[in-house]
């Protein structure tokens, strides 16, 4: 397996070429702060959903493709515990983490940026990628045994995230005056949920290196727990990068390509990246909520009409399509466009 970013630092190596963005497209930390709407999920979950909150959600998703969710039902102390085990895992000795190493040509497990092509510029991050749902697809050999409460916490955390996914997908439908379950039904009976723990070590040259290259997610929605203190995530809008402020108790929720398809492009999957930092390391945990691979997804009927023709094909197994295209340096969503 390729060397993790952490090992590269421990070994005191010079910054390898393969991390450097030579076209001047490295990270810029000093970009405008995003005025991303804060949506109160407790107001969306009740049967008396406030129209105002729904409108906030709709407008956030149509303009940014993301929002900060508060009152989502997970306590701040629980979020802190999840952040804490994430830090503890990445702080383990390299040899301990390697017990969970990703295997060749696989996605799951511990490792650095996956090398999909020879020209690829690598991300300055180490990660642990795990399938959480369906439960019978969990591969426990990749689930850390240390820290001791890691597995239980991930189980409990993602159980709560599942509820949030449902609340958000229903509210998204309602915000467009559609039937509550029209998006959720497209997830099928056995939806996938994967968790990606990200660790961004300090980087000597944030101006030349990115924590994560610009990309949009292949999920339906992604629910992100950000580092409580260190910024780094940026979203692109009108060709300008904007940084996401930290709200410690909030979860950042963005739509992925599959909601872009289901919503017939009304909610666009936003391009985002992570910049590095020379002073502080950063962690995050992204949970990807994904329809069942064999379930076909497509724009919902209510969003296709004369003035808004159907923009996307019917697709299934979008995550595979995503990786095939990503590998070739293409924007995966283009493969689903008519
Ligand atoms: O670390 C972050 O803030 C975001 C990571 C991300 O975009 C991803 O894992 O897809
Ligand atoms: Fe992402």
pTM: 0.96
Per-residue pLDDT, 338: 94
Q: How far apart are CA 252 and CA 285, in angstroms?
A: 11
Domain assignment present for 317: yes
Q: Using a 6 Å cutoff on CB, does residue 282 contact ligand 1?
A: no
Confidence (pLDDT) at 305:
94
| Nearest in space to 72 (alpha carbons), one of 259, 224, 230 | 224
Give residue 15's pLDDT. 81
Ligand 1 in contact with 285 (CB < 6 A)? no
Name the closest-CA residue to atom 9, ligand 1. Answer: 286
Please calculate the CA angle 112-117-118 and round it to the nearest 5 degrees.
Answer: 95
**Protein residue closest via CA to atom 1 of ligand 1:** 284
Distance from CA of residue 45 to its chain's centroid?
Answer: 23
CATH of the domain at 324: 2.60.120.330
- Give the residue numbers spanning the domain of 70: 31-336
Residue 17 located in a structural domain: no
183 CA from centroid of ligand 1 (Å): 24
State if residue 283 touches ligand 1 by the CB under 6 angstroms criterion.
no
CA 235 – ligand 2 centroid, Å: 10
Nearest atom of ligand 1 to the alpha carbon of 288: 10
Cβ atoms of 239 and 232 closer than 8 Å: no
Best residue among 284, 323, 326 to mutate for probing ligand 1, ranked by most atoms within 8 Å of CB: 284
From residue 161, alpha-carbon distances to 31, 156, 158, 232, 251 in Å are: 30, 9, 5, 23, 10
Tell me whether residue 87 is in a domain: yes
Q: Are 179 and 189 in contact (CB under 8 A)?
A: no
Cα–Cα distance, 162 to 32 (Å, whole number): 32
pLDDT at site 1: 52
Could you give the number of structural domains in the chain?
1
DSSP-assigned states of every residue in 171-213 = HHHHHTT--TTTTGGGG-SS-EEEEEEEEE---S-TTT-EEEE
Q: Which residues of the chain have pLDDT under 50?
A: none
**Which CA distances in Å does 272 have to 165, 236, 294?**
20, 6, 28
Do 117 and 329 form a contact (C-beta atoms < 8 A)?
A: yes
5 belongs to a structural domain: no
Q: How many helices (H) and strands (E) are present in the chain, helices listed first?
A: 8, 12
Whole-angstrom distance, CA of residue 146 vs CA of residue 209 = 31
Per-residue pLDDT at 249: 98
User: pLDDT tens for residues 256-307?
Assistant: 999 999 999 999 999 999 999 999 999 999 999 999 999 999 999 999 999 9
Any domain includes 221: yes
Q: Please name which ligand lies nearest the alpha carbon of 127.
A: 1
User: In this structure, which ligand is nearest to the CA of 126?
Assistant: 1
- Report the nearest-CA residue for atom 5 of ligand 1: 286
Counting atoms of ligand 1 from 1, which one is nearest the CA of 284?
1
Q: Indicate if ligand 1 lies below 6 Å from the C-beta of 297.
A: no
**250 inside domain:** yes
Query: Which residue's structure tokens are 């909030």?
Result: 250
39's enclosing H/E stretch is strand 38-40
In what order do the strands lie in the sheet containing 233-237? 210-215, 272-275, 233-237, 240-243
User: Cα separations (Å) of 242 from 44, 154, 188?
Assistant: 27, 30, 35
Q: Is residue 311 part of a domain?
A: yes
Q: What is the pLDDT of residue 11?
A: 75
Among candidates 118, 310, 161, 289, which has minimal Cα distance to 220?
Answer: 289
């Amino acid at each position: 397996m390729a060397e993790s970013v952490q090992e590269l630092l421990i070994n005191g190596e010079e910054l390898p070429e393969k991390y450097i963005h030579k076209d001047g497209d490295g990270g810029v930390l000093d970009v405008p702060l995003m005025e991303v709407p804060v949506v109160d999920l407790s107001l969306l979950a009740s049967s008396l959903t406030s129209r105002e909150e729904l409108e906030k959600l709709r407008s956030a998703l149509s303009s940014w493709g993301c929002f900060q969710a508060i009152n989502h039902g997970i306590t701040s102390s629980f979020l802190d515990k999840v952040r804490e085990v994430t830090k503890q895992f990445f702080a383990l000795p390299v040899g301990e983490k390697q017990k969970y190493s990703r295997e060749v040509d696989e996605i799951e497990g511990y490792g650095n940026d996956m090398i999909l092509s020879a020209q690829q510029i690598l991300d300055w991050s180490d990660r642990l990628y795990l399938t959480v749902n369906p439960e019978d697809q969990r591969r426990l050999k990749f689930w850390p045994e240390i820290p001791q409460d890691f597995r239980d916490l991930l189980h409990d955390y993602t159980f709560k995230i599942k509820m949030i996914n449902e609340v958000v997908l229903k509210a998204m439908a309602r915000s467009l005056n559609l039937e509550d379950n029209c998006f959720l039904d497209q997830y099928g009976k056995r939806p996938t949920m994967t968790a990606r723990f990200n660790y961004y070590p300090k980087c000597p040259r944030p101006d030349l290196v990115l924590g994560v290259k610009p990309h949009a997610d292949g999920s339906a929605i992604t629910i992100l727990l950000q580092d409580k203190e260190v910024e780094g995530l940026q979203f692109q809008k009108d060709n300008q990068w904007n940084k996401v402020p930290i709200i410690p108790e909030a979860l950042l929720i963005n739509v992925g390509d599959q909601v872009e398809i289901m919503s017939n492009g009304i909610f666009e999957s936003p391009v985002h990246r992570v910049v590095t930092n020379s002073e502080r390391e950063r962690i995050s945990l992204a949970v990807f909520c994904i329809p069942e691979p064999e379930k076909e997804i497509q724009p919902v009927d209510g969003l296709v009409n004369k003035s808004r023709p159907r923009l996307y094909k019917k697709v299934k197994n979008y995550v595979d399509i995503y990786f095939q295209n990503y590998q070739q340096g293409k924007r995966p969503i283009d493969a689903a466009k008519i």
